[in-house]
Amino acid sequence: MYRNIVFDLGGVVVDYDPHTFLLERFFDEAVESKVHEIVFGSKEWRQLDAGEITRAGANAVMLEKAREAGCLFEVQSVLDDWMRTLKTRRKTVEIIKRLKKMGFSIYYLSNIAQDTLEELKKRDFWPLFEGGVASCEAGTNKPDARIYELLITKYLLDRTETIFVDDNKLNANAAYELGITGIHYKGGPAFIRALNACGIPIKEHLLW
């Protein structure tokens, strides 16, 4: 019987879709690809998530790469504005509220930089979490097994009673390999069907 449900944040509880953001911003696949590689796909972005570099330090490296690649303006504009895209997914929050009312304990497990985490902690949904683990505080990113084990140990969770939800299939599979039920998040209706398959009765038509 499941008692705990753990949510990834970006792409599940809040919007996070860098490719779409960049394409809608520049209307040019070549520019989108170049900027994505320098920003969201960079080593510095992963280091931010792992808490290994400051935002100022990461931005300085990215901007230098952008200068060399001839896209300084584009990268600067993205660094200035990208966090505005992290809009709360209200329907996901409604599902979390229903799960809380059903008696489930709710946690988060997210690859996230410190400043982004602090921003999300200001959102009205944050008190719904019993707790969680952020990569910037753990010093490692999903799908590294250590971050999952840290969550399990920190909150004394029984992994057989725990579901983990992530929009990245590799991360969901990593949870499964550790004995945690992993759900690959593909949108609200599919998520509700996955919960139903786990024996958690939430009615899709009430939310979508």
pLDDT at 203: 75
Indicate if 29 and 123 belong to the same structural domain: no
Region 24-42 average pLDDT:
93
Asked which of 85, 117, 134 is the last residue of a domain, the reply is: 85
Indicate if 97 and 172 belong to the same structural domain: yes
Indicate if 138 and 178 belong to the same structural domain: yes
Is the pLDDT reported for residue 208 higher than 90?
no
Quote the tokens at residue 13. Answer: 């509880």
Indicate if 65 and 124 belong to the same structural domain: no
CA 170 to centroid of chain Cα atoms: 13
Indicate if 90 and 79 belong to the same structural domain: no
Each residue's pLDDT tens digit, 135-180: 999 999 999 999 999 999 999 999 999 999 999 999 999 999 999 9
What CATH number does residue 140 fall under? 3.40.50.1000
Give dist(CA 6, CA 58) in Å, integer: 29
Asked which of 58, 85, 112 is the last residue of a domain, the reply is: 85
206 phi and psi, to 5 degrees?
A: -80, -15
Indicate if 120 and 161 belong to the same structural domain: yes
pLDDT at 188: 87
Three-state DSSP at 109 gives: strand
Is the pLDDT reported for residue 205 higher than 80?
no
> Which residue did the predictor score with more confidence, 74 or 188?
74
Indicate if 103 and 72 belong to the same structural domain: no
% of the chain at pLDDT higher than 90 = 93
Indicate if 95 and 113 belong to the same structural domain: yes
Each residue's pLDDT tens digit, 41-62: 999 999 999 999 999 999 999 9
Q: Report the mean per-residue pLDDT for the chain.
A: 95
List C-alpha distances in Å: 44 to 39, 113, 157, 160: 8, 11, 32, 35
Q: What residues make up the domain containing 179?
A: 4-15+86-206
Query: Which pTM does this prediction carry?
Result: 0.94
Domain count across the chain: 2
Give dist(CA 178, CA 87) in Å, integer: 31
Indicate if 80 and 90 belong to the same structural domain: no
